Amino acid sequence: MIFKGCPYDIGYLEENIVAVSLHGTHQILKINIDNKEITTTITRKKSYCFGIDSNGETIVTIERRDLKAYATFLDLAGKKLRCIKWMDCSRNMLQYMEASYTALILAGRKCYVWMKMGISQGVFPLRWKQAVVRPLLKKAGLELIYSNYRPVSNLSFLSKLIEKCALYRLNEHVKDHDLLPTNQSAYRQFHSCESALLRLVNDILDGMEHQEVTAMIAVDLSAAFDTVDHSILINVLEYQYGVNGTALKWIDSYLRPRSCRVNVSSTTSSERQLECSVPQGSCLGPWLYLVYAGTLFDIIPPSITVYGFADDHTANKRFVPTLTNEMDAIRDLQDCAVLINTWMNSNKLKMNNAKTEFILFGSRRQLSKCQTKDIIICGDVIKSKTCIRYLGAFLDETLNFKDHITKKCKTAMMNYYKIKCIRSYLSKEATETLVLSLVISHLDYCNVILFGVSQTDLYKLQRIQNMCAKLVLNRSKYDSAKQALFDLHWLPIKARITFKILTYMYNCHVGNAPSYLINLLNPQVSKRSLRSSESSIGCYAVPYNKKKTFSDRSFSTIGPKLWNELGTNVRNSESLDIFKCRLKTLYFQNYFELF
């Protein structure tokens, strides 16, 4: 079955583009032009009529061998339309009002035909390479200087559709041959900031368990996307990723020549040609940067562990805190930093030493044995810090996360009071939407790393959630918080943390998780064949550790422990949605058993 059996409606798109709608089952295709309907039945012919060209006369045919690719194109187009923002399409005259069961099905010269002909001839349309750049401040409150702005490109909507289709094929190629670095977590399916932090924190806690200290440098790059050299990128694609022929020619055409205009308020600059960079705001640009920066992992010594998320990288070195080991570890990190800087210079990137950070992680007892106060990176002295910010999380030297919780609570409370000021003008549904998006989202961000923190710190988060629940229901501060959570069907903070951990466990169990998380888990193997062994099917071995304060907080230990406690009906759920539904029901009943 090529198409899903749901109705699709479509509006008018752009000049020379016609709109097609698929109704009912997957067997009937209807084309509407000037209120005249042409119906085509999908049969076992060699070709199928799917569209009409810009003058409304010639029917565009899709060969049978291309039918699957076209169906994929339609599916990707529909997904792209659902997440598009009107401000992202300043290059278009796109006017479209989306209704229920709506997806985008394009026909005509500039859509599937452009995709098929453009890729087959290795050409990307020139008019789709003209970007409007709107500089966005990286973070609220930063100084208004050039380096604090991010140049995000606003591109043609149709160009994003073609990019999405090309990216779909490139991702298949990379996944089949396992070409991207394992520890790179950006712009990849099943990968996220949270998964990267989960593995990083797991490694640090594992080091604490073994009485080790982890030395880490967080490397910062200056304008990484904007300094990508096109010739180097093409060479990497050809010789390391096996992209050649027409496909390589198409990517080369996509990259150059490109032009942009800068828009600030209502003023637009003249058009300028771009000699380097991959466009931020495009579908293909971030993926091309991953390819470009992927060779960095090839030069890292085996003794150093590197984790990356786009242009944010950390280099870690574990050691037992003796004077000799400490000096060797710091020397290895300094040598690694020199290698990274050399690689960046050869690839026309720049390491920003002013924002590069250095920290030592460990227990208080082991940290007291360390004497290192700074590290020298490429001639610059980087002072050791007690807390750094990485991927939106605040990591302190002992991983008690007090700073992280304090800062998240501060941001959440600011937004809470803003919503409270306008509560009388909002409905319950609107208030709940605002609270979930502006307050609870800060409490939930990367909460998977908070398992095992002190109850005092968790109560700070729980207190804010209680206040939010009462605000949504418009209740007094003296009313029961537990009753408010029950009425809203919200899990408490501690349950939300374990819920997130088990969600990752399920994804690891079915293979929908990063390999660096899956590799932490080992299936439980029974030494004897017993009747009770049947209940252990699908369980994972729990590592034995001595230091309960450290090991019981790591994902490799607490994940299997929580997973094995679940019933088989929950563990064997058919999909992630069903698993979440059953797990939430279980946790909800356990917490609100008195109601």
pLDDT higher at 432 or 154: 432
What is the C-alpha to C-alpha distance for residues 149 and 226, in angstroms, rounded to an integer? 12
pLDDT at residue 79, rounded to an integer: 52
pLDDT classification of 116: cutoffs 50, 70, 90: low
Nearest to 565 by CA among 545, 542, 543: 542
Confidence band for 216, pLDDT divided at 50, 70 and 90? very high
Q: Using DSSP bridges, classify how beta strands 357-361 and 380-385 pair: parallel, antiparallel or unpaired.
A: parallel
Q: What is the pLDDT of residues 469-526, one digit of tens each?
A: 999 999 998 999 999 999 999 999 999 999 999 999 999 999 999 999 999 999 987 6
Dihedral (CA of 503, 505, 507, 513) sign: positive
Using the CB atoms, write b or e for 400-424: b if 16+ within 10 Å.
ebbbbbeebbeebbebbeebeeeee
pLDDT for 9? 32
Q: Which CATH number fits domain 193-224+300-395: 3.30.40, 1.10.1760, 3.30.70, 1.10.150?
A: 3.30.70
Cβ proximity of 564 and 524 under 8 Å: yes
Cβ burial 63-84 (10 Å sphere, 16+ → b, else e): eeebeebbbebbbbbbebbeeb
Work out the number of other CB atoms within 10 angstroms of the CB of residue 3: 18
pLDDT at residue 185, as a whole number: 94
- What does the pLDDT look like over 369-402, one tens digit per residue? 999 999 998 888 999 999 999 999 999 999 999 9
Q: What is the pLDDT of residues 8-55, one digit of tens each?
A: 333 333 333 333 333 333 333 443 434 444 444 433 333 334 443 444
Report whether 280 contacts 152 (CB < 8 A).
yes
Q: What is the pLDDT of residue 455?
A: 94
Region of 456 please: left (phi>0), alpha (psi -120 to 50) or beta: alpha
The pLDDT of residue 62 is above 90? no
pLDDT of the residue at 223: 81
* pLDDT at res. 359: 96
**Widest Cα–Cα separation across the chain:** 83
Task: Report the mean per-residue pLDDT for the chain.
Answer: 81
Residue 269 per-residue DSSP state:
P
Tokens of 323: 């004077």
N-terminal to C-terminal alpha carbon distance within the chain: 47
User: How does residue 533 score in pLDDT terms, banded at 50, 70 and 90?
Assistant: low
Burial 242-258, CB ≥16 within 10 A → b, else e: ebeeebbbbbbbbbeeb
Distance CA 400, CA 405 (A): 9
What's residue 111's pLDDT?
56
Helix (H) or strand (E) holding 213: strand 213-219
For residues 261 and 134, the answer to whether their CB atoms sit within 8 Å is no
Its sign, for the CA torsion 159, 165, 168, 174, is negative
**Residue 19 CA to chain centroid, in angstroms?**
32
Task: Give 128's pLDDT tier (boundaries 50, 70, 90).
Answer: confident
- Specify the pairing of strand 149-154 against strand 312-319: unpaired
- Mention every residue, 6+ apart, whose C-beta is less than 8 A from residue 37: 30, 31
pLDDT of the residue at 141: 76
pLDDT over 60 at 97, yes or no: no
Q: Domain coordinates of the chain in residue numbers?
A: 18-119, 126-178+229-290, 193-224+300-395, 402-444+453-479, 495-591
- The token duo for 162 is 């073609």
Full 3-state SS string of 481-518: HHHHHHHHCCCCHHHHHHHHHHHHHHHHHHCCCCHHHH
Pick from 76-80, 129-133, 470-474 the range whose average pLDDT is largest: 470-474
Q: Quick check: 88 pLDDT over 70? A: no
Band of the pLDDT at 135, cuts 50, 70, 90?
confident
Max mean pLDDT range (55-64, 222-231, 366-375): 366-375
DSSP state of 381: E
Strand partners, 263: 268
For residue 27, with 0-12 CB atoms within 10 Å meaning exposed, 13-18 middle and 19 or more buried, which class applies?
Answer: middle
Q: Which of the pair, 230 or 33, is modelled with greater confidence?
A: 230
